[in-house]
Amino acid sequence: MKIEDFNFAGHKAIVRVDFNVPLDENGNVTDETRIKGALPTLKKVLADGGALIMMSHMGKPKGKVKPELSLKQIVKNVSNNLGVEVKFAADCGKADAEAAALKPGEALLLENLRYYPEEEGKPVGVEKGTPEYDAAKAEMKNRQKEFAKKLASYADVYVMDAFGTAHRKHASTAVIADNFDKDHKMLGYLMEKEVKAVDNVLNNIKRPFTAIMGGSKVSTKIGIIENLLTKVDNLILCGGMTYTFAKAQGGKIGKSICEDDKLDVALDVMKKAKENNVNLVLGTDSICGDDFKNDANTQVAPSMNIPEGWEGMDAGPDTRKAFANAIKGSKTILWNGPAGVFEFDNFAGGSKAIAEAIAEATKEGAFSLIGGGDSVACINKFGLADQVSYISTGGGALLEAIEGKELPGVAAIEK
């Protein structure tokens, strides 16, 4: 079912949202982006004349009640954004009375789902690899099904709108969907937008297609890099990964970060790029620091010849030009991961050059998708968020989708 085609009048909808918002030490919400992201779906339910039940996790309480991770702290933010007084059910596993009393146009928020270990469905108190683990896992799967059934019993429609957790097969993100028929379960507007953005990048490619992968490690990105190697025209690899590639080619990298067990992986990426006619763009020069801090002494050095005692911390001037050249003129752009230690202003220039080139290409008609916490933080830091096509709310979920993996949160709705 498509949310646009569903009339919620007279229905009770349970919506999985991602309200895992940052809080300060007094429990005040410091960034409402995620609450605002869910509003189109939530408002549609209420505007149609439906009753709205919202459920989410917050943080990692690991199956235990942790007051500092209570969703009660965000009730007023949700109320203000939604324009209705949101009620609160202090136990998400025993909210029958609150759900039953809910009238059309009213909204209820359930307490943190992850207070229950059943939400994540991981066995508690048993070590992985022990003989007891398999039995505990099977038992927990059953408990997870029961917990999902309980959540489902509060409503007659299920809406999945939490892209940030769509790569997890949790009670509220996937298992619950088994309790609803096809006409009574759907993706929310935010999920639809996210899925469409990924589809634009992977299946509706306008060329040239340039992907920029940065961050600290090759190991966490290799699955995506391999998938992209069969799709892109230009692949820019930057950030800390640069030095694993430099060392693999016999370069000297000083004390730059490097994954010594991934040198063969780096060489294999280079070989596959050649085989697939992908223009692989690696940094040729680096801004190096003599200490891992913002006010370290700096010098520019070839990325293949970093002096002893120095580490590559950002893309150098030639590299920035090469990156910008590859990005400009592109028609599809994907960016994940910074080109340097952007948290330090003195080493943010490489990431800024990338962000500016993406903004320029977008102005010329490219579709640009930015995702993963750090690149989003980058684009915000440089004030360019409104100059790219789409900023994903998902970190892990986005990366898994780009890797070509099916997201359980999407699959559960479609089956």
Helix axes 349-363, 317-327, angle to 10 degrees: 20
CB 171 within 8 A of CB 119: yes
| Residue in 217, 252, 321, 381 annotated catalytic | 217
Catalytic pick among 59, 251, 396, 404: 396
- Give the active site residue among 59, 93, 251, 373: 373
Q: Is 381 in the site for ligand AMP (CB under 6 A)?
A: no
Minimum distance between the CB of residue 351 and ligand AMP, rounded to whole angstroms? Answer: 8
Q: Output the smallest distance, CB 201 to ligand AMP, in A.
A: 18
- # residues contacting ligand AMP (CB under 6 A): 16
Helix intervals (H) in 158-301? 189-202, 222-228, 241-248, 263-275
Give me the least distance between CB of 347 and ligand AMP, in Å please.
Answer: 8
**Starting at the edge strand that comes first in sequence, how are the strands of the sheet with 234-237 ordered?**
279-282, 234-237, 209-213, 332-336, 367-370, 390-391
71 vs 287, beta carbon nearer ligand AMP:
287
Q: Which helix (H) or strand (E) holds 288?
A: strand 285-289
Binds ligand AMP (CB under 6 A): choice among 340, 371, 408, 409:
340
- Taking the least distance from each CB to ligand AMP, the nearer of 244 and 389 is 244
Closest distance to ligand AMP from the beta carbon of 238 (Å): 7
Name which of 337 and 409 has its Cβ closer to ligand AMP. Answer: 337
User: For ligand AMP, what does the binding mask look like between residues 192 and 221, x meaning CB under 6 A?
Assistant: -----------------------xxx--x-
Asked whether position 313 contacts ligand AMP by CB under 6 A, the answer is yes
240 is an interface residue for ligand AMP by CB under 6 A: yes
Any contact of residue 257 with ligand AMP (CB under 6 A)?
Answer: yes
Q: Active-site residue 239, yes or no?
A: no
Residue 289 within binding range of ligand AMP, rule CB under 6 A: no
Three-state SS at 353: helix
| Beta sheet of 107-110, edge-to-edge order | 86-89, 107-110, 51-55, 12-16, 157-160, 185-187
Least distance in angstroms from the C-beta of 374 to ligand AMP: 4
Q: Which is it for the CA torsion 129, 131, 134, 140, positive or negative?
A: negative
Closest CA to 379 of 341, 351, 409: 351
Q: Alpha-carbon distance 252 to 214, whole Å? A: 20
Position 254 contacts ligand AMP (CB under 6 A):
no
Q: According to DSSP H, which parts of 115-183 are helical?
A: 117-120, 131-153
Asked whether position 379 contacts ligand AMP by CB under 6 A, the answer is: no
Phi and psi of 282, rounded to 5°? -110, 150
Based on CB atoms, which residue is closest to ligand AMP, 164 or 340? 340
Of the pair 169, 217, the CB lying nearest ligand AMP is at: 217
Could you confirm whether 125 is annotated as catalytic?
A: no
Q: Is 114 marked active-site?
A: no
Taking the C-alpha atoms of residue 322 and residue 112, their distance in angstroms, rounded to an integer, is 47
Q: Is 277 left (phi over 0), alpha (psi -120 to 50) or beta?
A: left
Binder of ligand AMP out of 18, 161, 259, 374 (CB under 6 A): 374
206 is catalytic: no
Out of 12, 34, 44, 352, the active site residue is 34
Contact 39, 81 (CB under 8 A): yes
If DSSP codes are grouped into helix, strand and coil, which group holds residue 326? Answer: helix
Any idea which residues carry the catalytic annotation? Answer: 34, 217, 373, 396
Name the site residues for ligand AMP (rule: CB under 6 A): 215-217, 220, 239-240, 257, 312-313, 337-338, 340-343, 374
